[in-house]
């Protein structure tokens, strides 16, 4: 699996973009600014067959119109894009399009999936989507009052990739770490907050689950050069798993 780090930052970071990675043909999260970063890296949306969305906060979700409209303009929408997400994300997506581009026309997005050639696959805790190329399992995480907030395990070509942001340290984060060969984790601050893990918890998880290579993302701009047990990827970095 080839992982390209599109963004490794959190809102407020002045050095890095909103968090997003691409693992082979799977894009994780589509927050503000992600699409222009992808385009500037000359990554074509036709090479992305799956979009995994964790939740509907702006730094993970609101660039979806840019993505789907750009994909249509460039005619990169011949294949159906599978959008894997929590319950209710399809409805929120249509509301986002109505807000931004509806121009008062209530029926504009009646046939949304056909219009953009996408298929929403909304998963609840423990549910799995599987086809000949990939197996994706969703897990409930804990992120203040935000619901749904999903973490994921992606199994592809014998590798298991975990992705758990935004979240506090809950049981399902441990489950994701336990099952993964490599895991991308919320390390927003140095210490935990009510909505996010801190890097000290991510270090603890790396110690507790040594089988998983740990990558800290969704980071604010703190100093981490003294921490050697986990990885701190930068925007644009490519990781071969
Ligand atoms: Zn969030
Ligand atoms: Zn976030």
CA of 53 to the centre of ligand 2 (A): 11
Q: Which ligand has an atom closest to residue 195 CA? A: 1
Nearest by Cα to 11 from 221, 216, 163, 167: 221
Q: Residue 106's pLDDT band (boundaries 50, 70, 90)?
A: confident
CA of 218 to the centre of ligand 2 (A): 7
Q: Residue 37's pLDDT band (boundaries 50, 70, 90)?
A: very high
CA of 186 to the centre of ligand 2 (A): 8
Q: What is the mean pLDDT of the chain?
A: 97
CA of 1 to the centre of ligand 1 (A): 26
Q: Give the model confidence (pLDDT) of 119-150 as tens digits.
A: 999 999 999 999 999 999 999 999 999 999 99
CATH number at 143 reads 3.60.15.10
pLDDT at 66 over 90: yes
pTM score above 0.95: yes
pLDDT given at position 61: 98
Mean pLDDT, residues 186-210 taken together? 97
Least-confidence region, from 105-109, 115-119, 165-169, 209-213: 105-109
CA of 132 to the centre of ligand 2 (A): 31
pLDDT at 116 over 90: yes
Return phi, psi of residue 18, to 5°. Answer: -60, 145
Q: Which ligand has an atom closest to residue 29 CA? A: 2
Q: Which residues pair with 128 in a beta bridge?
A: 137
Percent of the chain exceeding pLDDT 90 equals: 98
CA of 54 to the centre of ligand 1 (A): 8
CA of 107 to the centre of ligand 1 (A): 30
Helix 89-101 with 64-73: angle, nearest 10 deg: 70
Q: Which ligand has an atom closest to residue 18 CA? A: 2
Percent of the chain exceeding pLDDT 70 equals: 100
CA of 57 to the centre of ligand 2 (A): 7
CA of 204 to the centre of ligand 1 (A): 22
Alpha-helical (H) ranges within the chain are 34-40, 58-61, 64-73, 89-101, 112-116, 171-179, 199-208
Note down the domain range covering 212.
2-240
CA of 150 to the centre of ligand 2 (A): 12
Residue 202 CA to residue 204 CA, distance in Å, equals 5
Q: Are 9 and 29 in contact (CB under 8 A)?
A: no
pLDDT given at position 222: 95
CA of 167 to the centre of ligand 1 (A): 8
Q: Which ligand has an atom closest to residue 10 CA? A: 2
The total number of structural domains in the chain stands at 1
pLDDT given at position 10: 96
Half-sphere exposure of 210 (CA within 13 A, CB side): 1
Mean pLDDT, residues 64-93 taken together? 97
CA of 188 to the centre of ligand 2 (A): 8
């Amino acid at each position: 699996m080839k992982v390209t780090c599109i963004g490794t930052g959190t809102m407020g970071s002045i050095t890095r973009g909103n968090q997003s990675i691409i693992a082979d043909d799977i894009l994780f999260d589509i927050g503000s600014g992600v699409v222009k970063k992808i385009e500037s890296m000359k990554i074509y949306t036709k090479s992305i067959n799956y979009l995994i969305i964790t939740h509907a906060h702006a730094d993970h979700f609101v660039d979806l119109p840019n993505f789907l409209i750009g994909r249509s303009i460039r005619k990169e929408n011949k294949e159906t894009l599978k959008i894997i997400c929590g319950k209710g994300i399809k409805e929120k997506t249509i509301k986002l399009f109505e807000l931004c581009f509806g121009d008062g026309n209530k029926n504009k997005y009646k046939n949304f999936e056909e219009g953009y050639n996408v298929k929403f696959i909304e998963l609840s805790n423990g549910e799995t989507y599987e086809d000949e190329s990939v197996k994706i399992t969703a897990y409930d995480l804990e992120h203040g009052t935000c619901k749904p907030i999903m973490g994921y395990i992606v199994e592809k070509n014998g590798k298991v990739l975990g992705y758990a942001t935004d979240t506090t340290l809950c049981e399902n984060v441990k489950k994701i770490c336990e099952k993964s060969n490599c895991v991308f984790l919320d390390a927003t601050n140095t210490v935990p907050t009510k909505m996010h893990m801190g890097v000290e918890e991510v270090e603890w998880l790396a110690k507790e689950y040594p089988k998983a290579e740990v990558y800290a993302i969704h980071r604010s701009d703190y100093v981490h050069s003294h921490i050697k047990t986990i990885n701190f990827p930068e925007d644009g970095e490519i990781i071969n798993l």
